Chains A and B, each alone.
Chain A
Amino acid sequence: MLRGERLVVGGVELKSHLIVGTGKYASFEQTKKAVEASGADCVTVAVRRVNILDKNQENLLEYLDPKEYKILPNTAGCYGVEEAVRTARLARAAGISDLIKLEVIGDPKTLFPDTEGLLQATRILVKEGFIVLPYTNDDPIVAKKLQDAGAAAVMPLAAPIGSGLGIQNPFNIRIILETVSIPVIVDAGVGTASDAAIAMELGCDGVLMNTAIAGAKEPILMAEAMRHAVEAGRLAFRAGRIGKKLYANASSPIEGMIE
Chain B
Amino acid sequence: MIVKLNGQSRDVPADTTLSDLLSELRILPERVAVELNFNIIDRDSLQRVRLKEGDSIEIIGFVGGGSC
1/0 per residue, CB under 8 A from B, across A34-56: the answer is: 00000000001111111010010
Q: Which of B8, B42, B62, B64 contacts A94 (CB 8 A)?
A: B62
CB under 8 Å from chain B, chain A span 6-46? 20-25, 28, 31, 44-46
Residue of A nearest to B58 (CB): A49
- Chain A contact residues, majority secondary structure: mixed
Given A90-B40, A93-B33, residue A50 in contact with residue B27 (CB < 8 A): yes
A200 on interface, CB distance cutoff 8 Å: no
CB under 8 Å from chain B, chain A span 44-76? 44-50, 52, 55, 59-61, 71, 73-74, 76
B60 on interface, CB distance cutoff 8 Å: yes
Residue of A nearest to B59 (CB): A50
Q: Which of B6, B32, B42, B66 contacts A76 (CB 8 A)?
A: B66
A-B CB contacts (within 8 Å), total count: 124
Q: How far is the CB of A156 from chain B (nearest CB, A)?
A: 12
A105 on interface, CB distance cutoff 8 Å: yes
Residue of B nearest to A47 (CB): B60
Does B33 contact A94, Cβ atoms closer than 8 Å? yes
Interface size class of B (residues with CB under 8 A): 20 to 34
Q: Which of B6, B43, B58, B63 contacts A46 (CB 8 A)?
A: B63
Interface size on A, residues (CB 8 A): 47
Does A94 contact B61, Cβ atoms closer than 8 Å? yes
A240 on interface, CB distance cutoff 8 Å: no
CB under 8 Å from chain B, chain A span 85-142? 86, 89-96, 103, 105, 111, 135
Q: How far is the CB of A140 from chain B (nearest CB, A)?
A: 21
Does B65 contact A49, Cβ atoms closer than 8 Å? no
Residue of A nearest to B35 (CB): A90
B31 on interface, CB distance cutoff 8 Å: yes
1/0 per residue, CB under 8 A from A, across B11-55: the answer is: 000000000000001110011111100101011000000000000
Residues of B within 8 A of A209 (CB): 66
A195 on interface, CB distance cutoff 8 Å: no
Q: How far is the CB of B25 from chain A (nearest CB, A)?
A: 5
Does A22 contact B64, Cβ atoms closer than 8 Å? yes
By Cβ-Cβ distance, the 7 closest A-B pairs, closest first, are A21-B66, A210-B66, A46-B65, A93-B33, A22-B64, A94-B33, A23-B65
15 sampled A-B residue pairs with Cβ under 8 A: A21-B64, A28-B64, A47-B62, A47-B63, A49-B60, A49-B61, A50-B59, A52-B27, A59-B31, A60-B63, A61-B62, A90-B60, A91-B62, A135-B67, A162-B67
